[in-house]
A and B are shown apart, each in its own frame.
Chain A
């Protein structure tokens, strides 16, 4: 069960931060051990979250696709 849910599907529509910057910021706000669930319908965002987690050693505790939506859970370490 995730401690916080972040939906990226509407990011980068106007002039906001890149989606992955938002994920990193939100994860930093959690306590160590807590889990951030990231949802997005945009493949570019899902790719970025997975690649960043892999390169940074961030544990991915869940990764599934529900229809067009990716659901990825990463844990604060």
Chain B
């Protein structure tokens, strides 16, 4: 079994071979640029700061269409550019950016398999030089809301057998033992547990020790064994929508499930809702 869309996943060698290709824009997407991009990055890679560049600076939301257009223009991209994403924290935030860029319908977005960790492990070149690109005037299409689930939609599907929910958080978060990891006190919910009927498949089960993705056969077994099968529409969620973007990518592009939607409101929204149905096993 092969990946359904192998074109969206590129190797470190492929990226190295395309570092001077002007039709390709390499973007490092970091949770913490100070611990990553600023210490060294791929030559010709521009920084995308998750907090600053992919989220609205005031309200809780992903960046707007105009903010996306500004970001793409600033890195010199056009709608025809091949965007190659990689990043820190095992590619979580690169996967979140991938999802966001697909929401704004950028045609050719790819992930570097293994991310920043694999590139450095292989001893490939890094630099502290920041590349300069000529500003473009990028115009995006309207948002593809078919990729994004909102709370009313999620509340409406609880209990439906034809829709599979994948909770990609840790077992302790899923069970309700904790409401958020200790490192993220501002992201805790009022209640612990999970959306009724959800399957717990932690996001990292989809990757190998070197952060590359597992094989299609392994991934199919991983999700299929928990009832997450392609005949169902799938909604992925975590706490704030990043880890679930990684699983969304796996299900939609590597396994080719026809309908996969990311619920970025996730548990930090659902677990704070008055009256929302919750299953708790802790």
Contact = CB atoms under 8 A, between A and B. Distances in A.
B106 interface: no
B69 to A, nearest CB: 30
A18 B120 contact: no
Contacts, number: 51
- Interface size class on chain A is 10 to 19
B113 interface: no
Contacts of B202: 14
Contacts of A14: 170, 181, 202, 204
B89 interface: yes
7 contacts: A13-B204, A15-B184, A17-B183, A20-B34, A21-B32, A21-B35, A44-B116
Q: 5 tightest CB-CB pairs across the interface, nearest first?
A: A20-B35, A51-B39, A44-B117, A43-B121, A44-B120
Nearest to B40: A51
A52 B38 CA distance: 9
Contacts of A44: 116-117, 120-121
B58 to A, nearest CB: 25
B166 to A, nearest CB: 16
A18 B126 CA distance: 19
Q: Which of A13, A15, A16, A21 has the most CB of B within 10 A?
A: A15
B117 A18 contact: no
B49 interface: no
A47 B88 CA distance: 13
Interface of B: 31-32, 34-36, 39-40, 88-90, 116-117, 120-121, 123, 126, 169-170, 181, 183-184, 202, 204, 239, 243
A42 to B, nearest CB: 7
A10 B125 CA distance: 25
A12 interface: yes
Nearest to A46: B120
Given A13-B204, A18-B89, A48 B36 contact: yes
A64 interface: no
Given A18-B32, A43-B121, A12 B239 contact: no
Given A15-B181, A18-B88, A48 B170 contact: no
B183 A16 contact: yes
Interface in A32-48: 42-44, 47-48
A52 B239 CA distance: 30
Given A18-B89, A47-B40, A52 B184 contact: no
Contacts of A19: 35
A39 B126 CA distance: 22
Nearest to A55: B39
A52 B181 contact: no
Nearest to B170: A14
